[in-house]
Structure 1
Amino acid sequence: MIRRISAALLALGLATAAFAQAAWTDAEVRKVDAKTGKITLKHGEIKNLDMPPMTMVFTAKDKALLEGVKAGDHVQFAADKDAAGEYVLTAIQQKK
């Protein structure tokens, strides 16, 4: 039982470390469509997706991520591919 608990704690620690090291990318918000959960970003290189800088539309993993975000904002965001191979916005924050 102690081994199982230790393994679970190790896995949790690794997951937390991975989240803390999320691949944040700088971007400028061009458009937000909160109704459809889509955001258009002019972004820098997205290293974890091997994607060069460009302007493109992402679907937010959760529409709540787009609350308070508006065109013209300078942000940092994280994106990934979902099971269907679509690019999704997984996190976003105002650039500091």
Structure 2
Amino acid sequence: MKIPLALSAICLSLLSAAPARATSGHDAHHAATPPAAAAAALSEGTVKKVDKAAGKLTIAHGPLDNLGMPPMTMVFRVSDAAMVDRVRAEDKVRFRVEKVGGVYTVTVLEPAR
């Protein structure tokens, strides 16, 4: 049986368009970060020292998964100078560190729950 040329063209266009729709839907699904995953991205630690003049915090922390870093105590720059006013030594915190301009920087800081 012969398939008319127009029907063949329609079938080809549908087959070639289907993967594009599936891929774009798949990508959109993974583009959004669920709230639970965003909260899990925060590390836990204890503030050991606050250096307001330098805009730095010394934090004894657990693993920094986003950086592949094991637990240790480190000095971090803060991305917002107001962060140093919100904490004191021995405060338990949840935080996120990113490498900004080659320097490990606290970009999110909140009290531990």
TM-score by length of 2: 0.66
Q: Give the corresponding residue for 2:51.
A: 33
Matched-pair identity in %: 40
1:21 is the counterpart of 2:30: no
| Larger strand share, 1 or 2 | 1
Instruction: Detail structure 1 runs of 4+ shifted over 6 Å in the superposition.
Output: none
Aligned alpha-carbon RMSD (Å)? 1.9
Q: 1:45 aligns with which of 63, 78, 89?
A: 63
Q: Which residue of 1 aligns with 2:111?
A: 94
Give 2:54's aligned amino acid. T
| C-alpha distance in 2 between matches for 1:91 and 1:21 | 11
Distance 1:90 1:18, change over 3 A: farther
State yes or no: 1:85 paired with 2:102. Answer: yes
- Count of residue pairs brought into register by the alignment: 82
Identify the structure with bigger relative contact order (alpha carbons < 8 Å, sequence gap 6+): 1
Partner of residue 21, structure 2 = none
Q: Which amino acid aligns with 1:26?
A: E
Larger radius of gyration: 2
Letter in 2 for 1:54: M
Matching residue's letter, 1:69: V
Query: Mean alpha-carbon deviation: is it higher for 60-69 or for 37-46?
Result: 60-69
Which of residues 75, 84, 90 is equivalent to 1:57?
75
**Gap regions ≥5 residues in structure 1:** 1-9
Q: Equivalents in 1 of 2:84, 2:34: separation in Å?
A: 23
Q: Structure 2 regions of 5+ residues with no counterpart?
A: 1-27
Q: Which has the higher helix share?
A: 2
